[in-house]
Structure 1
């Protein structure tokens, strides 16, 4: 079957002497893996159109549901050069791309998340708050995968009283009366809880200037990282690299 689709390159690996296998995240069909023959050669007809993070129009032939497609045409729509040229942007864009790649199977269409990934790359390129962008996308991935924590009522008693902690193990917030049900629950500030709720619902394409205090960012990071590790359990090279950058103050 011949496809002509717009998509984002979320993974690229060498294949043989001159070829690349790229994974394209498309709006209609989700992930699709395609061989770009000769892509590593200097005079390749695909050139920079198959570089990581590139948004492009791609034509390829793919037989059946499994196996690799064979690319015939690639045209750049948005190159996202800054995401490859800046170390920090490259690290976080790689994390979003790897998260997308590992959370979904092949040919599972996710139009909303496709738009959110594209919007996240655009927001990173525009210099908006990196950590907020990342947390917005993480929340949406949790929601799509069915792991979204309960943030509107106590996960134990159902009360809508003010939450004071989030239980990763129980999967949601706890009120004052129920907080002792999980000694490992993470204490929450009202501001952090409000942000968690907003980040899950907000459209990254509408993200404006936002000023979040450093302690609140650290709390959000702790909550989401612990939640991902407990319920999703993905090991990602890009996150390990980000941790190394932070450890050595890069």
Structure 2
């Protein structure tokens, strides 16, 4: 059956001589893999748009029982690939798409998550922006969609009010702790590796 869907390219790998396999996160069907025949041939008009982080409208021949779908056509809607190097932009981009890739299953539709990712990617495609802050916003919305309620008012290690602490020392920054789940002031158990904390720095 021929279907149309909006999609974000999560991953691309070479396949045989001229083709490539792309992992997409789609609005209508969740995560799936498509084959782009001749996708590495410069003469193929689709070769340049199937890059990780690009937002596309796709047409494909889809069979639910088939693991790899056949791509028919696509058009580029947005791309974060700017000519100049921008480590903050690309750091936020690849962390977001990697997180979605690692936490979603094949054919598992999640409209809320797709909408969040599309919104974040459109923001990251702007010429200028606060990309670490954008990633922090994405991360908080992401875990909420997954059903977790992080602690956002007090430090998860000390219980100290975060607003008061940041007013006293604005440059301290915060960290998001995956376990136990919430925001923390730098130092404390985090520096010592307490509770096997996994964190992302928010500035």
Same fold (TM over 0.5): yes
| Deviation of the 1:98 alpha carbon | 0.5
Instruction: Please say if residues 12 and 20 of structure 2, whose CA atoms lie closer than 8 Å, have aligned partners that are also in contact.
Output: yes
The C-alpha deviation readout for 1:43-62, integer Å capped at 9, x for no partner, is 12312221111111111112
- 2:149 aligns with 148
Q: Secondary structure at the match of 1:74?
A: strand
Q: TM-score, normalised by structure 2?
A: 0.76
2:161 corresponds to 1:189 = yes
- 2:185 aligns with none
Instruction: Name the one with the larger strand percent.
Output: 2
The C-alpha deviation readout for 1:39-92, integer Å capped at 9, x for no partner, is 111112312221111111111112224501011112112233229953331222
Count the aligned residue pairs.
Answer: 184
The C-alpha deviation readout for 1:109-135, integer Å capped at 9, x for no partner, is 222222221221222233222122111
Distance 1:78 1:187, change over 3 A: same
- How many angstroms apart in 1 are the aligned matches of 2:112 and 2:102? 17
- 2:177 aligns with 223
Instruction: Name the one with the larger helix percent.
Output: 1
Instruction: Please say if residues 83 and 124 of structure 1, whose CA atoms lie closer than 8 Å, have aligned partners that are also in contact.
Output: no
- How many angstroms apart in 2 are the aligned matches of 1:68 and 1:88? 33
- How many angstroms apart in 1 are the aligned matches of 2:84 and 2:26? 20
Q: Secondary structure at the match of 1:140?
A: helix
Instruction: Please say if residues 155 and 162 of structure 2, whose CA atoms lie closer than 8 Å, have aligned partners that are also in contact.
Output: no
RMSD (Å) for aligned C-alpha atoms? 3.2
| Matches for 1:13-32 after TM superposition, within 5 Å | 13-32=13-32
- 1:110 aligns with 110
Give structure 1 stretches of 5+ with no counterpart.
152-162, 167-184, 195-212, 234-238, 243-250
Distance 1:222 1:150, change over 3 A: closer
Q: Secondary structure at the match of 2:32?
A: strand
2:81 corresponds to 1:124 = no
